[in-house]
Amino acid sequence: MRYPIVAGNWKMNLGRVEEALAFVRHIRYRLNEIEGVERVLCPPFTVLAAVAQVLRPTRIGLGAQTMHWQDQGAYTGEISPAMLAGLCRYVILGHSERRTGRVAFPDQGPEASVESDAAVNRKVHAALAHDLSPIICVGENLAQNEGGQTHQFVGGQVRAALAGLTAKQAERCVIAYEPMWAIGTGKAATPVDANRVIGLTIRGAIADIFGEITAQAVRVQYGGSVNVENIAAFMAMPEVDGALVGGASLKPEFVELVRRVALVR
Ligand code: PGA
């Protein structure tokens, strides 16, 4: 039995201490009361320490949105795993907004690759070495989806991200299947499609490397326009172990979304 996990990816929102704390104080008691589902908030770095403080008396987990793989050095603006260790338990790695040029090259279209598979793999190793659990994002773009390349592309991302890990380390990873065309668009994948990609492609790739027991143990979330209305349909799918939630994690309704995950499981 895989324990469901829902993570709220705040992205570049609620990054001022007073607004972040006001939001977390508003939701934390109700969020904390929900049984049967792991819940994680991933705020911007600027408020990570402040939110950690407010969450201390709760069982709500905390995660960062990215990190470098080196412990220290001349990497302007980067945050290292050593800095995060002790502050949070999770770190999102390889989000498509970082893998593609969306952050670094806003005028060049989304195809410029910035965070490579190799970089994501280094980050996964570094996170685990510091006792951080990575939430590894994978997912195809619209052209790949329409061109029938989802299986090959997403399978390749999973293999690359997990390369060189032991089975035990792989089991500590969470994978988030986030089709790029579904992120922030209000156009989620169908639960049946998400279930198929997660079961066949993602668990298939994990099974190829580590065997079937590991493939059945790794938790895989769906992400991309998840909201209060559609979450139950995703959770009704046997391969879906939770969700990575962007926009809908910025509102108090996130509590209701998490509650619905717990109700279905
Ligand atoms: P969304 O974002 O829920 O706003 O579509 C999901 C994500 O990017 O993790």
Q: Is the CB of 224 under 6 A from ligand 1?
A: yes
| pTM across the whole model | 0.96
Q: Is the CB of 6 under 6 A from ligand 1?
A: no
- Count of other CB atoms within 10 angstroms of residue 31: 23
For 23, the enclosing helix (H) or strand (E) is helix 17-33
Q: Is the CB of 92 under 6 A from ligand 1?
A: no
Ligand 1: residue whose CA is nearest its atom 7: 246
| Token representation of residue 145 | 């989806």
Q: Is the CB of 180 under 6 A from ligand 1?
A: no
Active site residues: 95, 178
Q: What atom of ligand 1 comes closest to residue 9's alpha carbon?
A: 9
Dihedral, CA of residue 93, residue 95, residue 97 and residue 99, to nearest 10: 70
The C-alpha R_g of the chain, in whole angstroms, comes to: 17
Q: Is the CB of 91 under 6 A from ligand 1?
A: no
**Is the distance from CB of 1 to CB of 217 less than 8 angstroms?**
no
Question: pLDDT digit of tens for each residue in the chain (265 aa)?
Answer: 899 999 999 999 999 999 999 999 999 999 999 999 999 999 999 999 999 999 999 999 999 999 999 999 999 999 999 999 999 999 999 999 999 876 666 666 655 567 899 999 999 999 999 999 999 999 999 999 999 999 999 999 999 999 999 999 999 999 999 999 999 999 999 999 999 999 999 999 999 999 999 999 999 999 999 999 999 999 999 999 999 999 999 999 999 999 999 999 7
How far apart are the CA of 107 and the centre of ligand 1, in A? Answer: 21
**At residue 41, what is the residue type?**
L
**At residue 244, what is the residue type?**
L
How far apart are the CA of 185 and the centre of ligand 1, in A? Answer: 9
Can you give the pLDDT at residue 233?
98
Q: How far apart are CA 167 and CA 227, in angstroms?
A: 33
Can you give the pLDDT at residue 100?
83
Ligand 1: residue whose CA is nearest its atom 2: 246
Q: What atom of ligand 1 comes closest to residue 183's alpha carbon?
A: 5
Q: 113: helix, coil or strand?
A: coil
CA distances from 167 to 130, 133, 173, 209, 210 (A): 17, 14, 10, 9, 6
CA distances from 242 to 1, 49, 140, 166, 247 (A): 13, 25, 19, 24, 16
Q: 80: helix, coil or strand?
A: coil
CA distances from 262 to 47, 105, 190, 234 (A): 28, 39, 20, 12
Can you give the pLDDT at residue 54?
97
Residues 6+ apart with CB under 8 A from 128: 134, 165, 169, 172, 173
